[in-house]
A and B are shown apart, each in its own frame.
Chain A
Amino acid sequence: MIVTTRQPVSTSERAVRTPAPAKRLVKGNEALALGAVAAGAECFFGYPITPQNEVPEILSYWMPKLGRVFLQAESEVASINMVYGAAAAGHRAMTSSSSPGISLMMEGLSYIAGARLPCVIANVMRGGPGLGNIAPSQGDYFQAVKGGGHGDYRCIVLAPWNVQEMYELPALAFDLAERYRMPAFVLTDAVLGSMLEPARVPLEFPPLVRREQDWTACGRGNRAHKNVVHSLYLDPEVLSAKCEELQATYRRAACEVRFDERLIDDAQVVVVAFGISARLALSAVSALRRRGEKFGLLRPITLFPFPSERLSALAKRVRGMMVFELNSGQMVEDVRLAANGACPVEFFGKMGGVLPPPEELVEVFSKRFAR
C-alpha cells in the first residue's frame, strides 16, 4: 500500500496516469524519458553516459517533434548550467545522467538550489567511486539526499522501484520542484534503467501547460520591474536570512512524504529498502513469511523528505529494522536517526554492482533477527 501524506496528488502526476493505455513491454530508461515528456518538460539538456543513454536518445526524437528543446551539451557541467538557465527563465527543464556525470553537476546544482530554481535531474546510478562500472548501485544516496554540492541545501529525491514508477515519478518531481522552488532528483539505477517490464506508458502526450511565475528572468515584457536570478548575497546577515528561508522551505516540504508498505501490520521486523533493493527485499520478505517469520517491508518513495515519522512510530513497536542497500550503508543512517534507539537497526549492503539473490537476503535477514 502506497502511503501519501499529502493529498491530492500533484496535477502533472494525475496527467501521466490518465488515460491509462494497455500495458506493454517498456524499458526503464524509455519510461523515464516518456515520463518527462508527459510531465511537460520543455527543455532537456544532457551528455551521453552509460547506463542512461536511452533517455537522451528517446528525447532527441520526441522533444523537437513536439516543438520543445533537446540539446546534447558538451559536458555534464554545461548540461546542468543549461538546466539552470532554462529554469531561471521559467521553463520546465531536466537533465539525466549517471553517477560520474552527476558528480560533475554538483556545482551547478548548488547554484540552482541557491537561486531557488525548480528542475529535475535523473540519476541512473552506476557503480563507483571513480569510473566504477556500469552495474547497478545505490552509492549516490548521500550525494542526492544530503546535498552533494557546496553549501546547505537539499533536493527532493524520488526513488522509483519499477518501470511504471520510472514513467510516473518525473511528473511528481516537476510538481514538487515547482511547489517548493527546489531541484528534484529521480534517483534510480542501472537495473531499473535497463530492464524491460510491462507498464502503462502512452505515446501520446498532453499539451504543455505554461505556468506563469512572478520571479522568472524571462525578459521583462510588460512587467514594471526587472527580475534577477542569483545566489550571491555578500552581506552575512542577508545570506543568513536567505539560508533560513531555504531551510524553512525544506521543513515545509516534509509533508510530501511518500512510502510503500507491505506486510507491515503484524510485522516484527521491518525491512527498509528503496528502489531496486526494495524489490529484492520484498522477495525475501515474502519467502520469510512463508517460513512463518514476521517480516514486513517499508519502501521510501521520497528519500527527501524521508519518512522519519512513520519509521519512528514503527520502531517503538517492532523487534528491529533491517536496512538493505546497494552501498556500504547510507540510508541506514537516516533509519537509525528515525529509530533513535527504540529498536536495533541492522544493515546489509552489496557494492560494485553485485545483486544478492533473494535466498541470500532471506538467510541474512533471518540470522540477524534470530530469537
Chain B
Amino acid sequence: MHSCADNLVTDTPDDEFECVAHRPNSMSDKPLHYCPGCTHGIIHRLVGEMVDEFGLLDRTVGICPVGCAVFAYEYFEFDSIEASHGRAPAVATAVKRADPRRFVFTYQGDGDLAAIGTAETVHAAARGERITVFFVNNGIYGMTGGQMAPTSLPGQKTTTSPGGRDPALTGHPIAVCEMLSTLPGVAFAARVPLTSPKNVNLARRYMRKAIRAQLENIGYGIVEFLSTCPVQWGLTPIAAMKHIDADVIKVYPPGVFVDRVPDARAAPVGAETDAGSST
C-alpha cells in the first residue's frame, strides 16, 4: 500500500529548497472557504490524496452535498455532481450503476446523511451499492447557522435547542456506523476523530479500505469523520478538538464496525486497472 510519502514531489525545485509536500494533483488551487479550525479542509485533502494514490483522477465522479461543503467541487480536479440535500447516495447509485468502471464517492454532512437523507443512505447501504461515503459528522447544521442535528449530543446547545438538546423531546443521537453495520451490503464502516496526526493517518487507512470495498466490488464503504465546527459550537479550534476527544467520542466511539475488505496487497488495486472513463 502506498503511504502519503508516495505523493511527495521528488524532483528538485529550481532553488535550494527541497519540496517535501504539495497539494494533491486531484485538488485545485482554489483557497478553501472553510472557517478556522474546521476539519473539512483536512478531509478534502485526504480525499484528494486518495484519488491520487489510487490513480483515479480520470474516472472519479464525486457527489457533493448541500451544506458547508456545497462547493466541494470547486476544490477538486475530477468531475463532480452536486446533489440535492440528502440525495447523494441515490445520485451516486445511478452514476456507478450506469458505468461500474467509475469511482464514485459521496461527501456528506450529518444533516445531509443522517436527517434528510436517511432513507437514501440506508437503502444504498442495504443494496450494497459499490459507492464510497465520506461522512463528516460534526453534530450540527453548520452552514445554516448552528441548528440541532439528529447527531447533536444530549445537552448540546444549538440555535434550535437553546436550552440544550433534550432527548426526551428530540431523541438520542443517531450512530450511523452502528446502524449500517447490521446490513450485509456494507463492506466497510469505520469512525475516526480527526483530532491528531495519528488519527489522520488512521483516517487514511480507513479511507483506503472504504475505497477498495468499491474498487474490488465487495460492497458499500463508509468512513465517518468526527469533525469540528468551532464557530457553531462556540469554541476555539483547539477547544473544539479537545471537545471531540473528551466528549464526542463517548457518544460516538471510534473504531471499525464492519470490515469485509481483505488486508492490503502490495499496491492499491485501482492503480493497476485500466484507466480511462467509460464514455
A contacts, CB < 8 Å to B: 42-43, 45, 69, 71, 73-75, 77-79, 81-86, 88-91, 93, 107-108, 111, 115, 210, 212, 216-222, 226-232
**Interface of B (DSSP majority class):** mixed
A232-B277 CB under 8 A given contacts A74-B119, A217-B79: no
A226-B84 CB under 8 A given contacts A74-B119, A82-B91, A85-B94: no
Q: Is the beta-carbon distance between A81 and B83 smaller than 8 angstroms? A: yes
Task: Kindly provide the distance from the CB of A48 to the nearest chain B CB, expressed in whole angstroms.
Answer: 15
Q: Is the beta-carbon distance between A219 and B98 smaller than 8 angstroms? A: no
B73 / chain A contacts, CB cutoff of 8 Å: 226, 228, 230
B90 / chain A contacts, CB cutoff of 8 Å: 73, 77-79, 81-82, 84-85
A108 and B84 alpha carbons, distance in the complex (Å): 7
| B60 contacts partner chain A, Cβ-Cβ < 8 Å | yes
Q: Is the beta-carbon distance between A228 and B81 smaller than 8 angstroms? A: yes
Within B75-123, the residues touching A (CB, 8 Å) are: 76-84, 87, 90-95, 97-99, 101-103, 119-120, 122-123
B70 / chain A contacts, CB cutoff of 8 Å: 232
A89 and B97 alpha carbons, distance in the complex (Å): 11
A219-B93 CB under 8 A given contacts A69-B98, A89-B61, A90-B279: no
A93 and B98 alpha carbons, distance in the complex (Å): 10
Closest to A230 in B: B82
A216-B80 CB under 8 A given contacts A78-B119, A232-B70: no
Q: Is the beta-carbon distance between A218 and B278 smaller than 8 angstroms? A: yes
A75 / chain B contacts, CB cutoff of 8 Å: 119
A86 and B81 alpha carbons, distance in the complex (Å): 10
Given contacts A78-B120, A115-B82, 13 further A-B contacts (CB under 8 A): A69-B94, A71-B94, A73-B90, A78-B87, A78-B119, A81-B83, A85-B63, A216-B79, A220-B59, A220-B79, A226-B78, A226-B79, A231-B82
- Chain B CB count within 10 A is highest, among A45, A79, A219, for A219
B222 / chain A contacts, CB cutoff of 8 Å: none
Q: Is the beta-carbon distance between B94 and A43 smaller than 8 angstroms? A: yes
A78 and B122 alpha carbons, distance in the complex (Å): 12
Q: Is the beta-carbon distance between B76 and A81 smaller than 8 angstroms? A: no
Q: Is the beta-carbon distance between A107 and B84 smaller than 8 angstroms? A: yes
Count of B interface residues, CB-CB < 8 Å: 40
| B36 contacts partner chain A, Cβ-Cβ < 8 Å | no
A91 and B103 alpha carbons, distance in the complex (Å): 16
Task: Kindly provide the distance from the CB of B48 to the nearest chain A CB, expressed in whole angstroms.
Answer: 13
A91 and B77 alpha carbons, distance in the complex (Å): 22
A88 and B90 alpha carbons, distance in the complex (Å): 13
Q: Is the beta-carbon distance between B58 and A220 smaller than 8 angstroms? A: yes
A79 / chain B contacts, CB cutoff of 8 Å: 90
Q: Is the beta-carbon distance between B98 and A228 smaller than 8 angstroms? A: no
B97 / chain A contacts, CB cutoff of 8 Å: 43, 69, 71, 86
- How many interface contacts (CB-CB < 8 Å) are there between A and B? 151
Closest to B79 in A: A217
A217-B61 CB under 8 A given contacts A226-B80, A227-B79, A228-B73: yes
Q: Is the beta-carbon distance between B98 and A89 smaller than 8 angstroms? A: yes
**Choice from A42, A85, A210 contacting B81 with Cβ under 8 Å:** A85
**Choice from B77, B78, B95 contacting A88 with Cβ under 8 Å:** B95
A84 / chain B contacts, CB cutoff of 8 Å: 81, 83-84, 87, 90-91, 94
Q: Is the beta-carbon distance between A218 and B279 smaller than 8 angstroms? A: yes
A69 and B97 alpha carbons, distance in the complex (Å): 7
A210 / chain B contacts, CB cutoff of 8 Å: 279
B226 / chain A contacts, CB cutoff of 8 Å: none
A115 / chain B contacts, CB cutoff of 8 Å: 82
| 17 A-B residue pairings within 8 Å (CB atoms) | A69-B98, A73-B90, A74-B119, A74-B120, A74-B123, A75-B119, A78-B123, A84-B81, A89-B95, A89-B102, A93-B94, A93-B98, A217-B79, A219-B102, A219-B103, A221-B279, A230-B73
Q: Is the beta-carbon distance between B79 and A228 smaller than 8 angstroms? A: yes
B78 / chain A contacts, CB cutoff of 8 Å: 219-220, 226
| B177 contacts partner chain A, Cβ-Cβ < 8 Å | no
A229-B98 CB under 8 A given contacts A81-B90, A85-B93, A89-B61: no
A212 / chain B contacts, CB cutoff of 8 Å: 279
A227 / chain B contacts, CB cutoff of 8 Å: 79
A220 / chain B contacts, CB cutoff of 8 Å: 57-60, 77-79, 277
B276 / chain A contacts, CB cutoff of 8 Å: 221-222
Q: Is the beta-carbon distance between B278 and A219 smaller than 8 angstroms? A: yes
Within B108-142, the residues touching A (CB, 8 Å) are: 119-120, 122-123
A222 / chain B contacts, CB cutoff of 8 Å: 58, 276
Q: Is the beta-carbon distance between A88 and B279 smaller than 8 angstroms? A: no
Q: Is the beta-carbon distance between B119 and A226 smaller than 8 angstroms? A: no
A78 / chain B contacts, CB cutoff of 8 Å: 87, 90, 93, 119-120, 123
A111 / chain B contacts, CB cutoff of 8 Å: 84
- Chain B CB count within 10 A is highest, among A73, A83, A88, A108, for A88
**Choice from A69, A219, A230 contacting B61 with Cβ under 8 Å:** A219
A231 and B93 alpha carbons, distance in the complex (Å): 20
Task: Kindly provide the distance from the CB of B249 to the nearest chain A CB, expressed in whole angstroms.
Answer: 32
Q: Is the beta-carbon distance between B119 and A45 smaller than 8 angstroms? A: no
Closest to A227 in B: B79
A69 / chain B contacts, CB cutoff of 8 Å: 94, 97-98
Q: Is the beta-carbon distance between A86 and B94 smaller than 8 angstroms? A: yes
**Choice from A42, A107, A108, A221 contacting B59 with Cβ under 8 Å:** A221
Residue-wise, chain B 49-82 has the 8 Å CB interface mask toward A (1 for contact) of 0000000011111011000001101001111111
B98 / chain A contacts, CB cutoff of 8 Å: 42-43, 69, 85-86, 89, 91, 93
Task: Kindly provide the distance from the CB of B183 to the nearest chain A CB, expressed in whole angstroms.
Answer: 13
A107 / chain B contacts, CB cutoff of 8 Å: 84
Closest to B80 in A: A228
A221 and B276 alpha carbons, distance in the complex (Å): 5
**Choice from B76, B83, B87, B99 contacting A89 with Cβ under 8 Å:** B99
Q: Is the beta-carbon distance between B94 and A221 smaller than 8 angstroms? A: no
**Choice from A83, A218, A232 contacting B79 with Cβ under 8 Å:** A218
